[in-house]
Amino acid sequence: MPYYDEIELGDEIGPVEKVATDDDVVNFCDIWGAPKPNRFTDADTAAKSGMKGTIVPGIMTMAMMAQLLTDWGGPGSLKDLDLVFRQPVPHNRPLTMAATITDLREEDGQNLVECDILMTGTEGERYIGGKAIVALEGR
């Protein structure tokens, strides 16, 4: 895990590319307990909601973006994640997640790293964007 003292403004976290497959979404919805049918796993329900196809649940994409940060900062390091869902996220397409560090500060005895975080598609679609705060240990 990185130490707070090693981090500089503008440092990048990622990018990491993932695909949320149909099976991934079905498994997530089963564990989550999503009522069926739903727009995440059922094409007809998605069409009735005005979607072009089934979509990845927002809470699942949020988990994927959180994982980018906890894989980097370690378990328990993520203090805040504030996202704006700009477009529906499709199944079975490469999704790129990356973060850029925009602020470093010490607050209430913690070393806080603030970053912009983005999930994009292969053609530059900005599906989700927001900011996050991660706490890191100092040396």
Partner 1 sequence: MYLDMHSHSVSSDDSRATVEQYVKWIQVLRKRGHQVDGIVLTEHRKFDFDKDYSALADQYNVLIIKGSELDTRYGHFLVYGVSQGLTRAIDFADTRMDARALMQAARQHDAIALPAHPGRFGIGLTDYIAQGETFEDVEIVERFNGGSRQGENERADELCESHNLLGIGGSDAHLTSHIGTCMTNFKAGIKNANDLVDALLSKEFQPVWLEDTLDGSSQA
Match 């913690």 to its residue by tokens: 110
Q: How far apart are CA 119 and CA 28, in angstroms?
A: 19
In the bound complex, what is the minimum distance in angstroms from residue 106's beta carbon to partner 1?
A: 16
Decide: is 121 part of the binding site for partner 1 (CB under 8 A): yes
* 84 binding partner 1? (CB under 8 A): yes
As a whole number of Å, the end-to-end CA separation of the chain is 11
Question: In the beta sheet, which residues pair with residue 116?
Answer: 100, 131
Distance in angstroms (rounded) separating the CA atoms of residues 115 and 24: 27
Tokens standing for residue 82: 């504030």
* Contact pattern for partner 1 over residues 91 through 120, marking x by CB under 8 A: ---------x-xx------------x-x--
**Candidate ranges 38-46, 57-65, 78-86, 105-113; the one touching partner 1 (CB under 8 A):** 78-86
Both tokens of 57, joined, read 């649940």
Q: To the nearest whole angstrom, how small is the minimum distance from the Cβ of residue 42 to partner 1?
A: 25
**Contacts with partner 1, residue ranges (CB under 8 A):** 9-10, 82, 84, 86, 100, 102-103, 116, 118, 121, 123-126, 129-131
